[in-house]
Chain A
Amino acid sequence: METQVTDTNESSYGGDTTNYLNATKGIWSWMYTVDHKRIGVMYTFGTIGALMLGGLFALLVRLHLWSPDGLLVDNATYNQFFTLHGAVMVFLFVIPGIPGALGNFVLPLMLGAKDVAFPRINLFSFWLWTLGAIFFVTVLVTGGLDTGWTFYTPYSIQTQSSVIWAVSGAFLLGFSSIFTGLNFIVTVHRMRPKGMGWFNMPLFIWGIYSTAVIQVLATPVLGITLLLLAVERSAGLGIFNPAFGGDPVLFQHFFWFYSHPAVYIMILPAMAIISELMATFSRKRVFGYTLVAYSSISIAIFGFLVWGHHMFTSGQSAWASFVFSTLTFSIAIPSAIKVFNWLSTMYKGSVRLDTPMWYALAFLWMFTIGGLTGMFLGSMGTDVHLHDTYFIVSHFHYVMVGSIMFAFFGGLHYWWPKMFGKMYSEAMGKLGAVLMFIGFNVTFFPQFVMGARGMPRRYATYLPEFESLHQVSTVGAFILGLGVAVGIWTLFSSLVFGKKAPQNPWGAASMEWETATPPIEHNFHEIPSVKPVYDFSTLVFNEATGNWDRIADASEENNG
């Protein structure tokens, strides 16, 4: 039986050396592009910029908290630091990041498609993101923001800071999210190639799809809530303001009705990336594929039913709290299923510990902690003591940073060679991952202890008994910041100094790796044949080129 290397590189672009990056030139060709790959690249740089801005505020927060009396600024300014850290990170980085940057770039390629279903709406989503970012920068240079990213009333009605600019920015970002979700839903339904049924598509697509469902259904509620808040502030409508007969707890219900599903908008794309990384770097189909797929959808659905677990101490009825607690525990099971299935993917696999896999394994560890600490909070009795303390702050950072940010960096390190045709330095990549891991845990593990011992959140100053734990946490924050800087530098410097990337450096089995590196403008010259999902059996490492070549029987008909 003769084996033959099928070089789909040639057939897919006919030897052309132009790719999507250099096909057209000039800033307007980017500002007005409808190419999902260029839009993905712009989101990548935009959201990394937001990460750096939000990270700057984080370092200011942690530095100020070095001293019990506050090291840097007065209380009012500190309140701005923590608010802007949260708002910039949540609205400009975590929610849009993975879907905008990697979802946009990868999804059509993974489907063998030319683009998403609505390329112009895709561009409009990015413009809305940019406008939302401009609104937040306006907030910074006008009154700032000091309400917390949660905008609870009545304080957000009373404060002199730039609330209306901020909620308007968030409103625009919300629509960016809604249109992206709409685009992805239609793309997945209508643009799968023949032979790629729902249960033959990579789990990344299941994750992005489930996210899109939440984006479309939940985000409008945030939009209306923020609009009502703006009207309340400017016209004194009296919906949330008790001075006019309104109810502050109603704001919390409206806010969390979106913001709880929002955390699943954040985590599901991260889980989507992890599925790909675990499969590729174990060279095995994800264990329990079907259940992992169903768990993505069930997390999306159940995520709508639990918002009141943010409000156990709010004055809502005990009956409501009981129902929300019960439903909250139901979400634990699909998440646990995913972790166990990812782990089992390594069993009898062939595990390669390249940089993306370091991020994926770090994710498994930290998502386990983040998820388990959610149990303390879903249980009504323990939540009473832990709510609004550093325990909560630590829990959500384990999920938002330790899990989601790590998955984002894992995905970036995974798809970067495909996106830009350059390999980064493995040593630097791993250094970044290690620094991030150590820095993150040193920052946040002490915060669990602080919270349980009595340290409230959103405090500019604190009792001296918490000083040493705060200082440990601050040191960790700077190590984490260094790690993030190294990670970003690893990627960006590869654009200048990196070696040319082969077509499939990781030996991955999904379709985006069968195009040119970087892809041509229209993605594929001829769409590759659809293979069984996560079938690594036809990929063989070529020592000479550093590429994983696809081997096929000479006797088989193929698209080569």
Chain B
Amino acid sequence: MNLPILPTLARLVQDAQVAIPSDPTAEGTYWFPVQASTLAEKSDWTFYYIYWISAFFTAVIVAAMVFMAIRYRYRKGEWDGADSPGHSLALELTWSGIPFLLTIAMWYSGFKTYMYGDTPPPNGYEIQVKARQWSWEFIYPNGAKSDELHLPVNENVTFVMSSADVLHSFWIPAFRVKKDIVPGRYTKTWVNAIMEGQYTMFCTEYCGKDHSQMNAQVFVQDRASFDEWVGLAADPYGEMLPVEIGEKIYNQQCIACHTTDGTVRIGPSWQGIWGKESNFEDGTKLLVDENYIKESILDPGAKVVAGFPNAMTTYRGVFNDSEIDGLIAYIKSLGN
């Protein structure tokens, strides 16, 4: 449901751009990493507001508890408790009313911050985020693809995110940005990064075996450096030979499940498989050749090697033909 009131409210809460902190080597605080985005300062403000109120009330409650446990401790002999009050409407109203008023600001400030962080401004620089078990791929407007996220500093960047398989979630703590990535749809979020530097991005929705290793590096650069990087990234293989292309892809995308030294992981090792006969779960057999490799990449469930689970996500739409050629060349090079 998309009520027109929400974009209106969102425009009301979009503040002017926050200036870059004066110290680019700034460290985080006790609670937080650096405030590396325009969102971070707002998010942290709401946190500290709630934090100090919470600390105050915790201290008051614990102190009252300790005080009364000592002051009113049991003493032998008669005690009838006659002059101790049983209820007080005035007190009930006070200790309900004051917390209620305090929580209004928590609620409102949280809403404001959320709307700011969840509403990508128009005309942001769009980066596609592809999440899969267990790696990230970022696709830039010029067609560049990388497992690194590069951002131009002080610009609005919109992320259009999709998953190839299960739920993932995109979290960059330094930016305070988080959004789930849901298979079957696109989700969006955005950031305006205000501090040059290198940050870590985590997957933060449990997605299976290597969920904890599904990190990506985030680089915030001045516009010129960013343009240079993204230009080079659009042509990532440059003059590389197919076998080198295949090895590069292997190290980025395949190494989590396949080894090249014979060790078995979730998928079979590639060592020495070229030209050999492979036995499949359904009892059939086939020689490992170019067609078999290509089918294994694009439709991995079609033939599952005996003894292995049908757990590989398809890479259809991820690799182009020259990348598949590269992988074939690399596997050939691993001996037969």
Contacts and interface: CB of A to CB of B under 8 A. Distances in A.
Judged by DSSP, the binding face of B is mixed
B169 A353 contact: no
Contacts, number: 274
Contacts of B32: 452-453
Contact of B61 (A285, A343, A385): A343
6 contacts: A288-B91, A288-B92, A326-B107, A369-B58, A380-B114, A449-B30
Contact of B42 (A381, A463, A541): A381
Interface in B66-87: 68-69, 72-76, 78-81, 83-87
B81 A350 contact: yes
Contact of A313 (B79, B166, B180): B180
Contacts of A546: none
A395 B202 CA distance: 21
Interface string A138-160: 00000000101000111100111
Nearest to B64: A343
A75 interface: yes
B110 A459 contact: no
A382 interface: yes
Given A154-B167, A318-B115, A336 B180 contact: no
A25 interface: no
A325 B209 CA distance: 33
Nearest to B59: A368
B50 A379 contact: yes
Given A75-B209, A242-B184, A460-B212, A383 B72 contact: no
Interface residues of A, number: 94
B103 interface: yes
B210 A75 contact: yes
A150 to B, nearest CB: 8
Contacts of B203: 456
Question: Ordered nearest first, which 8 A-B pairs have the shortest CB separation?
Answer: A381-B113, A242-B184, A379-B110, A454-B173, A348-B84, A380-B114, A459-B212, A372-B54
Contacts of B208: 79, 146, 155, 158-159
Interface in A315-373: 315, 317-322, 325-326, 329, 332-333, 336-337, 339-341, 343-344, 346-353, 361, 364-365, 368-369, 372-373
B99 A332 contact: yes
A348 B51 CA distance: 32
Interface string A20-51: 00000000000000000000000000000000
Contact of A346 (B58, B68, B182, B209): B68
B106 A347 contact: no
Contacts of A493: none
Nearest to A538: B80
Nearest to B212: A459
A333 B101 CA distance: 11
Interface stretch (B1-9, B15-23, B147-155, B245-253): B1-9
